[in-house]
């Protein structure tokens, strides 16, 4: 009796941890994947206006039309454990990505991350940029009429003006306002070069992977996780940012304790160009400015509801060389729908021999690589386990669709699909 009680308590806990709301797409069975031990003793009742109808988990209910269905889960049909609402939504189809993308924090300029005083020739600390009114968070768009995009470019312009004893004319953006200031570089005794007194960062956030795009609405999703500021660890405001094409030039292979990475370069807007509207825990989202091609999936495929993602074999799409998207086998080790808060709903393992040989497993730049199972988009690669690069996390594709406002009951916020 004690053993039976413990088992039932464990089963009840597993069920109670399920999200209160589930989604399924019209025309598909409302199947929820439970652990085998839970499923054997589970009973499901549909509790809408009709008398409660008992169903087996593997049969559940055909989803013919859109609308919410209230469902009660119980053990042995006697002990009620949880009520959930299953929303039946129109089928959503997207084209999987896999292409490498470059992410720009803002479409132009360099951002001021802070100020750093200069020790001048007389032994005093000065800051000509601060004296001119430049503040942290400002974006320097142009110097002497020349558009700037990189730290090295700014450093060269400062050095040249300093050597010639000239002032720099800076065009600066703060919020929605743009203004002009003049700054004369000062020679720094500590660094032995001319400086303005600023800490700057160029617009490059790095290379990631496109997860999906809707060829009709031109909405895309990528990365599968939020982009945060390294200094504050807060989400970066990417409202002025953009995505562009990228090419993988080489691979730094990962190993235990040392994650690898894709080394790439931005290829510009020739193939991929898009705006960034949202930066969320489930990835970045926006609109593409022109259609894309995917040689592996030329037509849209269905998106799987999170509750129907199963443990077992799957594949990912990603780039290892140049711009060629390839497919590689993986295993979905665990589906954890209780982890929505951090976006880590899937645990995955790389099983493809060639991918393991070339990368050692999951590497930086692979974030956003779409996960395909049963010819449906089920998720995206997001994180690597530092102590085991063959394993990592993924985010269910359904969660990304919600953030992209591509589901009728998407979370509140800026609408992309309107």
Residue tagged active-site, from 100, 202, 225, 383: 225
- Is residue 415 included in any domain, yes or no? no
- Residue at token pair 């859109």: 66
- Is residue 211 included in any domain, yes or no? yes
Residue tagged active-site, from 237, 271, 352, 374: 352
pLDDT at res. 1: 46
pLDDT at res. 228: 82
Residues 144 and 274 in one domain: no
Burial of 99 from C-beta contacts in 10 A (0-12 / 13-18 / 19+): buried
Pick from 310, 363, 357, 300: nearest CA to 336: 310
pLDDT at res. 110: 87
Residues 343 and 209 in one domain: yes
- Residue at token pair 């002990």: 79
pLDDT at res. 12: 59
Q: Which domain holds residue 56?
A: 2-90
Q: What tokens does 142 get?
A: 């142009």
- Is residue 418 included in any domain, yes or no? no
* DSSP label of 306: G
Residues 269 and 303 in one domain: yes
Pick from 372, 346, 308, 344: nearest CA to 33: 308
Q: What tokens does 312 get?
A: 């077992």
28: Cβ–Cβ under 8 A, 6 or more apart, which residues? 63, 91, 305, 308
- Phi then psi dihedrals of residue 21, to 5 deg: -125, 135
CB atoms < 10 A from the CB of 65, how many? Answer: 8
pLDDT at res. 116: 93
**237 labelled catalytic:** no
Strand ranges (E), 47-160: 53-55, 67-75, 79-89, 93-96, 100-104, 110-115, 118-119, 125-126, 139-143, 146-147
Give the residue from 59, 90, 121 where a domain finishes.
90
Residues 230 and 370 in one domain: yes
Residues 217 and 344 in one domain: yes
**Secondary structure class of 153 (helix, strand, coil):** helix
pLDDT at res. 296: 94
Residue 307 belongs to a domain with what CATH number? Answer: 2.40.10.120
pLDDT at res. 91: 83
- Is residue 412 included in any domain, yes or no? no
CB atoms < 10 A from the CB of 345, how many? Answer: 24
Residue 190 belongs to a domain with what CATH number? Answer: 2.30.42.10
CB 308 within 8 A of CB 240: no
**269 labelled catalytic:** no
**Secondary structure class of 121 (helix, strand, coil):** coil
Residues 228 and 351 in one domain: yes
Measured between alpha carbons, how far is 108 from 242 in angstroms, rounded to an integer? 10
Pick from 79, 71, 35, 38: nearest CA to 55: 71
Residue tagged active-site, from 74, 87, 203, 367: 367
pLDDT at res. 62: 47
**Secondary structure class of 410 (helix, strand, coil):** coil
pLDDT at res. 348: 98
- Is residue 417 included in any domain, yes or no? no
Residues 225 and 353 in one domain: yes
Pick from 180, 111, 184: nearest CA to 150: 111
Q: How does pLDDT run across 335-387, given as a tens digit for each residue?
A: 988 767 778 899 999 999 999 999 999 999 999 999 999 999 999 999 999 89
pLDDT at res. 29: 63
- Is residue 368 included in any domain, yes or no? yes
Residues 185 and 228 in one domain: no
Give the residue from 184, 201, 218 where a domain finishes.
201
**225 labelled catalytic:** yes
From residue 138, alpha-carbon distances to 175, 231, 375 in Å are 8, 16, 46
pLDDT in tens, the chain (418 residues): 444 444 445 555 666 666 677 777 776 666 665 555 555 555 556 665 454 444 454 444 444 555 576 766 666 555 666 777 777 777 899 999 999 999 987 767 888 988 999 999 999 999 999 999 999 889 899 999 998 878 889 999 999 999 999 999 999 998 889 999 999 999 999 999 999 999 998 776 789 999 999 999 999 999 999 988 766 677 777 767 889 999 999 999 999 989 899 999 888 777 899 999 999 999 999 999 998 888 899 999 999 988 889 999 999 999 999 999 999 999 999 998 876 777 889 999 999 999 999 999 999 999 999 999 999 999 999 999 989 999 999 999 999 999 998 886 543 334 444 3
pLDDT at res. 97: 96
pTM greater than the 0.95 cutoff: no
pLDDT at res. 338: 77
Residues 280 and 173 in one domain: no
Residues 241 and 293 in one domain: yes
Residues 193 and 279 in one domain: no
- Is residue 410 included in any domain, yes or no? no
- Is residue 239 included in any domain, yes or no? yes
pLDDT at res. 7: 45
Residue 81 belongs to a domain with what CATH number? Answer: 2.60.40
Residues 143 and 274 in one domain: no
What's the CA angle centered on 222, arms 217 and 227, to 5 degrees?
130
Tell me how many domains the chain contains.
3
């Amino acid at each position: 009796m004690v053993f039976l009680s413990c088992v039932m308590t464990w089963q009840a806990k597993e069920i109670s941890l399920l999200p209160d709301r589930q989604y399924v797409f019209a025309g598909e069975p409302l199947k929820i994947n439970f652990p085998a031990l839970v499923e054997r003793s589970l009973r499901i009742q549909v509790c809408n206006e009709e008398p409660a109808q008992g169903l087996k988990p593997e049969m559940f209910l055909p989803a013919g039309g859109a609308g919410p269905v209230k469902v009660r889960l119980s053990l042995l049909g006697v002990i009620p454990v949880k009520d959930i609402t299953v929303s039946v939504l129109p089928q959503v189809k997207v084209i999987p990505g896999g292409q490498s993308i470059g992410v720009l924090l803002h479409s132009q300029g360099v951002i001021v991350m802070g100020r750093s005083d200069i020790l001048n020739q007389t032994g005093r600390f000065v800051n000509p940029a601060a004296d001119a009114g430049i503040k942290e968070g400002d974006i320097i768009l142009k110097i002497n009429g020349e558009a700037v995009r990189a730290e090295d470019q700014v450093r060269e312009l400062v050095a040249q003006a300093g050597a010639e004893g000239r002032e720099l004319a800076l065009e600066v953006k703060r919020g929605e306002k743009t203004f002009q200031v003049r700054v004369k570089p000062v020679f720094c005794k500590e660094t032995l070069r001319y400086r303005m007194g600023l800490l700057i960062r160029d617009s490059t956030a790095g290379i990631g992977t496109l997860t999906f795009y809707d060829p009709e609405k031109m909405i895309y999703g990528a990365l599968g996780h939020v982009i945060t500021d390294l200094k504050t660890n807060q989400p970066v405001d990417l409202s002025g940012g953009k995505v562009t094409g990228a090419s993988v030039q080489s691979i730094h292979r990962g190993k235990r304790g040392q994650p690898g990475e894709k080394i790439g370069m931005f290829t510009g807007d020739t193939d991929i160009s898009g705006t960034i509207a949202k930066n969320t825990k489930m990835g970045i989202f926006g609109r593409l400015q022109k259609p894309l091609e995917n040689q592996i999936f030329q037509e849209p495929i269905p998106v799987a509801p999170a509750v129907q993602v199963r443990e077992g074999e799957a594949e990912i799409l990603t780039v290892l060389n140049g711009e060629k998207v390839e497919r590689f086998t993986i295993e979905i080790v665990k589906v954890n729908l209780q982890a929505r808060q951090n976006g880590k709903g899937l645990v995955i393992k790389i099983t493809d021999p060639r991918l393991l040989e070339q990368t050692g497993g999951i590497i930086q730049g692979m974030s956003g690589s779409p996960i395909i199972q049963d010819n449906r988009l089920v998720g995206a690669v997001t994180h690597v386990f530092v102590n085991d690069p063959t394993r990592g996390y993924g985010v269910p594709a359904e969660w990304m669709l919600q953030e992209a406002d591509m589901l009728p009951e998407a979370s509140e916020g800026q609408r992309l699909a309107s």
